Structure 1
């Protein structure tokens, strides 16, 4: 791999993280909500003396432990692998600042996995009272994992004034609790807990839908209806939690959503507004579909309909997570680190001393020159090759985290039709990063010396327009790359 510049063709590294994360969130939220569903359903069955319920719940427990214990755990590891490649700087920040938080989370996670195994395999071995206690131990530990991870996830959007005041001093970890209980922590925890509860109902509908309505009509009717009720708290309380969450988001980030809402008539939605709209529409569709298809027609609710609900839940979850990610733009850690790994406090230094000379990821003696669309022949002057190598490293270090060449957010399409002068003007706008710049709210500033910006201009001109030309006066000043 070309670590630390993870160049994923077409999709880009961001979408690799996104796809793994959405898959993981769909399972991990079920792991929390389902942890409450199982002991509550079991307690209800014991209280009412329903052996048919206990048999059905045991089947659901088997589905639960396979999905969460295997696919949930593997996708969680996949997220760490992906973010470590795509965003090594931000991953390092999260690890160093929350090292004890991660340790606490891992303790809960280990107890959670152990309790899940004991709960399922001890179904016919443990006394019912002990078995229920194990189920509640699992539920508590699963929710506590969410409590810990939620603090770290919300920190990335709103690290808080106290932590930001210490950023760069080496004393960041002393503000652990201020960073953990950041402004969006509690509204996010409420929202995610509600989503976990609804996910428990969504997945329970899948296993309940497979009950034979001819053999056990009453059991299917009762389990479908009882599972459908788990979706109600989410749909009733999520709007309240959502407005609470928005009120906690910094005005600068909330402006991205407001801009999209205010320009609906012009058709110029921002991405975050589009995603938020999908969340609202799919959530309303789920509520209507479950009411008419599951609640009112429970005995005919089959697996196909249950999978439709799951697909809608997937769309809502994916859009919600995308909205949360987009709200952070242009940062990966709010007001501290830009999405390309450059810290806000480093911008001046990089502009003065050079990006290539100071970035820890660019200390290499033989940087490769790929130039995907440019065939560098032997007749190209060495100085030109060296200059293009500098430009490529600027591109890989500052652009590749969010853009690809030909795929998602493609540079080739964004700069299509621009000549070298136009590309240079665009980069100058990003470099100056003035308050009135149309790109300031969602793109990081371009950092580096004027020569480095010129090298990036040449590289993009070569990449887009296949234009490889020597500029003797500027190349003489730039010299060969200093790595």
Structure 2
């Protein structure tokens, strides 16, 4: 309530983050965490066998990893910070206060990771001068792989905390936040998945790079497939462990998440598709170990695409089933803390919204007041005309018959009970009715909906003309004792 609302109506706030974040995760898992250990392994084979083909293959694969991770990977990582700070500053501010020292360490590790990959890649030619230089170079690769994994390990703790904050709600300590119930199962799952993704991606690239040396292609694909097969087994175990610790209310959200908020039978079919997809990847790995020369490159490409699609769907579902919270049991997806609900439902959200242009609902200002309530409480998930459009949702519910404000108000008041993933309405009765009037008006009139980045800030009171500043408790006071 203390920040202006950033909103891009054609794409929506959550899609803005999702596109950037999923692209970052795909690159991070497949190329940084999953592939770098294999580069060091291939270099080791080259040193042990004195066969330069292993070393040449490792260098060519590292070039792709280096380019992708230091360009698209790095930029999308920064993009996550930028977009999250714009879309939900309360959430990112809360996480920084809880995990300040965790992120501080992660940033240092990331700087080391970037320095290591530059040194590892740029010194490859010089390292070939002697065995001693090559062994030192190999140690760089091992350190790089470890640091890449540590970066993920720290971030996974924060992702787990956002799903289930565990004992932090009572202890309010960094350690209790890091060691949340979701941490180790999710870390095991992501580690195994990253290794499989990295292995299959490197197999496909190695298949392309060794087309003029079929004997070496057979050796390389068999070696990389054994690595992927071991991690496939670990992935099955980690998946079961992870599924057992997901809170029950999140499991209930899964059928909704996989069908884009439609209660139909796609959930069962998705499970079948996942099993079939992973079985196909497993068959490719097994065939590559037993008969590597007979597996066509298209099978490797399909395997890589399946793994990328599965990770993308996993991230989508994980983000959705966390609802109605963005931080488990602490902060709702609308950016309002659970503990602030009684105050807001008593006084109204407009009284405590720093940048609201309307402070009090009257019979004369119901429409602009309702628009303001929609902006403050709904736009972090919904648009008016774009992705996840509120007009589309209402049209599904009420069709072409006239939308009645009274009916919409009754639904919004009780929607949390009907659809748990929707946060409860945080305002008072007058604001609820004003919101319903605004939503009903969208059937006939849906003007472009812009956020504060276009409307301009700060906003002033429409009645008195004075600038208001919110009276909700400062987050720094809430988390200050943690440091």
Equivalent residue number for residue 326 of structure 2: 332
Equivalent residue number for residue 134 of structure 1: 140
Distance 1:300 1:255 in 2: 40
Equivalent residue number for residue 24 of structure 1: 24
1:409 matched to 2:388:
yes
Query: Deviations along 1:35-56, whole A, 9 cap, x unmatched?
Result: 2111111112211221111111
Shift of 1:202: 2.2
Query: Deviations along 1:157-214, whole A, 9 cap, x unmatched?
Result: 0111x32126xxxxx4xx110011100100011001101211221221232122343x
Aligned length: 438
Moved more, 122-131 or 290-299: 290-299
The 5-angstrom pairing of residues 253-264 of structure 1 reads 253-257=250-254
1:158 matched to 2:164:
yes
Distance 1:234 1:407 in 2: 41
User: Once superposed, which parts of structure 1, at least 4 consecutive aligned residues long, lie more than 6 Å away?
Assistant: 258-261, 382-385, 418-421
Distance 2:93 2:270 in 1: 29
1:443 matched to 2:414:
no
Q: 1:63 to 1:363 in 2, by over 3 A?
A: same
Secondary structure at the counterpart of residue 209 of structure 1 = helix
Q: 1:260 to 1:39 in 2, by over 3 A?
A: closer
1:47 matched to 2:48:
yes
Distance 2:294 2:50 in 1: 22
Asked if the contact 1:217/1:299 (under 8 Å) is kept, the reply is: no
Question: RMSD of the alignment, in Å?
Answer: 3.1
Distance 1:404 1:244 in 2: 37
Asked if the contact 2:257/2:320 (under 8 Å) is kept, the reply is: no
Equivalent residue number for residue 9 of structure 1: 9
Asked if the contact 1:4/1:85 (under 8 Å) is kept, the reply is: no
Distance 2:409 2:266 in 1: 22
Query: Deviations along 1:331-367, whole A, 9 cap, x unmatched?
Result: 111111111111111111111011111134x34589x
Query: Deviations along 1:211-245, whole A, 9 cap, x unmatched?
Result: 343x3111111112222233223432323222222
Shift of 1:149: 0.7
1:184 to 159, 177, 182: 182
Equivalent residue number for residue 462 of structure 1: 441
Q: 1:92 to 1:295 in 2, by over 3 A?
A: farther
Q: 1:467 to 1:283 in 2, by over 3 A?
A: closer
1:237 matched to 2:234:
yes
Query: Deviations along 1:407-456, whole A, 9 cap, x unmatched?
Result: 3322112212367774433433433567xx212x2100011111111111
Asked if the contact 1:260/1:269 (under 8 Å) is kept, the reply is: no
Which 5+ residue runs of structure 1 have no aligned equivalent?
A: 167-171, 367-381, 469-478
Structure ranking higher on relative contact order (CA contacts 8 Å, 6+ apart): 2
Q: 1:293 to 1:427 in 2, by over 3 A?
A: farther
Equivalent residue number for residue 472 of structure 1: none
Equivalent residue number for residue 264 of structure 2: 268
Secondary structure at the counterpart of residue 413 of structure 2 = helix
Secondary structure at the counterpart of residue 344 of structure 2 = helix
Asked if the contact 2:403/2:443 (under 8 Å) is kept, the reply is: no
The 5-angstrom pairing of residues 39-118 of structure 1 reads 39-118=40-119
Shift of 1:267: 7.0
Asked if the contact 2:186/2:242 (under 8 Å) is kept, the reply is: yes
Q: 1:467 to 1:28 in 2, by over 3 A?
A: closer
Query: Deviations along 1:127-158, whole A, 9 cap, x unmatched?
Result: 01100111111111111111111111100001
Q: 1:448 to 1:317 in 2, by over 3 A?
A: same
Asked if the contact 1:204/1:227 (under 8 Å) is kept, the reply is: yes
Shift of 1:314: 1.5
Moved more, 248-257 or 447-456: 248-257
Distance 1:281 1:244 in 2: 20
Shift of 1:97: 1.1
Q: TM-score, normalised by structure 1?
A: 0.82
Asked if the contact 1:355/1:447 (under 8 Å) is kept, the reply is: yes
Distance 1:178 1:211 in 2: 47
Q: 1:276 to 1:318 in 2, by over 3 A?
A: farther
Q: TM-score, normalised by structure 2?
A: 0.82
Equivalent residue number for residue 149 of structure 1: 155
Distance 1:61 1:466 in 2: 55
1:427 to 409, 416, 424: 409
Distance 1:61 1:282 in 2: 28
Secondary structure at the counterpart of residue 326 of structure 2 = strand
Asked if the contact 2:229/2:286 (under 8 Å) is kept, the reply is: no
Distance 2:432 2:342 in 1: 15
Distance 1:313 1:182 in 2: 27
Q: 1:290 to 1:180 in 2, by over 3 A?
A: same
The 5-angstrom pairing of residues 362-401 of structure 1 reads 362-363=355-356, 386-401=365-380
Q: 1:114 to 1:467 in 2, by over 3 A?
A: closer
Q: 1:61 to 1:20 in 2, by over 3 A?
A: same
Q: 1:411 to 1:278 in 2, by over 3 A?
A: farther
Shift of 1:281: 3.9
